[in-house]
Amino acid sequence: MSSIKKDATAQQNADAYWKDTLKLLWIVLALWAVVSYFAGIFFASALNNIYLAGYPLGFWFAQQGSIYAFVVLIFWYAKQMGKIDEKHDVHED
């Protein structure tokens, strides 16, 4: 294979990897916004009608639940990024 074709293939692979990475990033950012803004602020008054461990759910979610959701989101992101790395053959052995 010529050098030009190798370079073009490498560029296409890099572009596909970047596209998949950005797609995952936007999904994570959207979930983060939903958890932090909508559940913690926007829907807080509606969630406050439900109680968890004696506290209104809106308050609990803004204070504790969002932290748990963010930690889960970090682990999910790392797992998904590993799958993307393997798909594009840039993973670590």
Q: What is the per-residue pLDDT for 84? A: 95
Q: Note whether 60 and 53 are within 8 A (CB).
A: yes
Confidence grade of residue 90 (pLDDT, cut at 50, 70, 90):
confident
Q: Could you give phi then psi for residue 75, rounded to 5 degrees? A: -65, -40
> pTM for the full model?
0.76
Higher pLDDT, 23 or 40: 23
- Per-residue confidence at 1, pLDDT binned at 50, 70, 90? low
Write out the DSSP string of 12-71. HHHHHHHHHHHHHHHHHHHHHHIIIIIIIIITHHHHTTSEETTEEHHHHIIIIIHHHHHH
Q: Which tokens is 2 given?
A: 């010529």
Binned at pLDDT 50, 70 and 90, residue 7 comes out as confident
